[in-house]
């Protein structure tokens, strides 16, 4: 069963990132925090795999997770594609806070703009929810209470402990990226019919085989399981737990 893994220490981060670097050429990637941008602060990084697993790295719990836990290797890797939405602000925040350069990015917001241009239409930059709805890709929607907090509280991503709704919301920003949105845009641009285009961040020409999109909507979990206290969940739920 796919799971959401909450990681808050360097040792576990090293093991997870090593496995991702070896086994996952394409991942979903998102940074969350306070006013993400050149003057913001990253407190959490979410990564998803095409199989549906999500790894949430609690940077606020230990900033060494990024530099000493191996995340920097993934961020700067030209062999692992990071599928992101609106990557520029996240890239500037990563560099400002950690002096890390984000490489090999497939930006779904920019690629959708390319799709519009290819069809002879004006370039449009959609939000992630709008883009997912445009392609009829299902995603988790936060509770009304959290939606209000996300609008009104700039520090919501820095508050601890992380609630089940926050974890689900973080996961919802990376789960639809791979394989569903990545493959949809990849095909709309005709990239499966020709050589992959150069990546603007790295100039790398590595070929990435597209993966068949997931057609069945994924329901994100509404339960938070603690380590050593597993719960039996419905099969369409993900299992959230703290990875020791």
Question: Along the 244 residues of the chain, how does pLDDT read in single tens digits?
Answer: 568 999 999 999 999 999 999 999 999 999 999 999 999 999 999 999 999 999 999 999 999 999 999 999 999 999 999 999 999 999 999 999 999 999 999 999 999 999 999 999 999 999 999 999 999 999 899 999 999 999 999 999 999 999 999 999 999 999 999 999 999 999 999 876 654 444 444 444 333 333 333 332 333 322 222 223 222 222 233 445 555 4
CA neighbor of 175 nearest in space, from 11, 1, 32, 48: 48
Exposed/middle/buried for 23, CB within 10 Å: 0-12, 13-18, 19+? exposed
Q: Which domain holds residue 71?
A: 3-235
Q: Provide the whole-model pTM.
A: 0.80
> Looking at the domain assignment, is residue 112 inside a domain?
yes
pLDDT for 3: 87
pLDDT of 191 reads 75
In the three-class reduction of DSSP (H, G, I as helix; E, B as strand; rest coil), residue 45 is classed as strand
Cα→Cα distances 118→45, 132, 181, Å? 32, 19, 18
Q: Does residue 94 fall inside a structural domain?
A: yes
Is 125 within the bounds of a domain? yes
The answer to whether 6 touches 225, Cβ cutoff 8 Å, is no
| Domain count along the chain | 1
pLDDT at 242: 52
> For residues 121 and 90, what is the distance between their CA atoms, to the nearest angstrom?
27
In this prediction, residue 54 carries a pLDDT of 96
Does residue 240 lie in a domain region? no
Six token digits for residue 132: 């997912």
Domain membership flag for residue 244: no
Q: How far apart are CA 103 and CA 14, in angstroms?
A: 19
Assign residue 57 the CATH number of its domain.
Answer: 3.30.420.10
pLDDT at 8: 95
Q: Quick one: pLDDT at residue 149? A: 93
Is 64 within a domain?
A: yes
């Amino acid at each position: 069963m796919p799971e959401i893994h909450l990681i808050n220490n360097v040792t576990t981060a090293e093991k997870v990132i090593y496995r991702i670097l070896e086994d996952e050429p394409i991942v979903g990637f998102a940074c969350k925090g306070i006013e993400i941008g050149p003057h913001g602060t990253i407190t959490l990084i979410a990564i998803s795999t095409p199989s549906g697993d999500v790894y949430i790295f609690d940077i606020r719990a230990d900033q060494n997770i990024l530099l000493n836990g191996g995340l920097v290797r993934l961020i700067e890797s030209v062999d692992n594609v990071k599928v992101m939405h609106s990557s520029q602000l996240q890239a500037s925040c990563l560099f400002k806070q950690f002096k890390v350069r984000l490489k090999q990015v497939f930006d779904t917001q920019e690629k959708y703009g390319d799709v519009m241009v290819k069809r002879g239409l004006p370039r449009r930059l959609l939000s992630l929810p709008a883009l997912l709805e445009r392609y009829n890709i299902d995603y988790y929607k936060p509770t009304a209470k959290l939606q209000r907090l996300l609008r009104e509280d700039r520090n919501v991503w820095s508050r601890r402990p992380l609630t089940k709704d926050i974890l689900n919301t973080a996961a919802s920003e990376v789960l639809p990226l791979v394989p569903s949105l990545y493959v949809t845009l990849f095909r709309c641009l005709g990239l499966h019919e020709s050589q992959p285009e150069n990546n603007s961040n790295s100039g790398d020409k590595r070929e990435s085989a597209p993966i068949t999109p997931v057609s069945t909507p994924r329901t994100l979990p509404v339960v938070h399981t603690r380590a050593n206290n597993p719960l039996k969940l419905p099969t369409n739920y993900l299992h959230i737990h703290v990875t020791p």
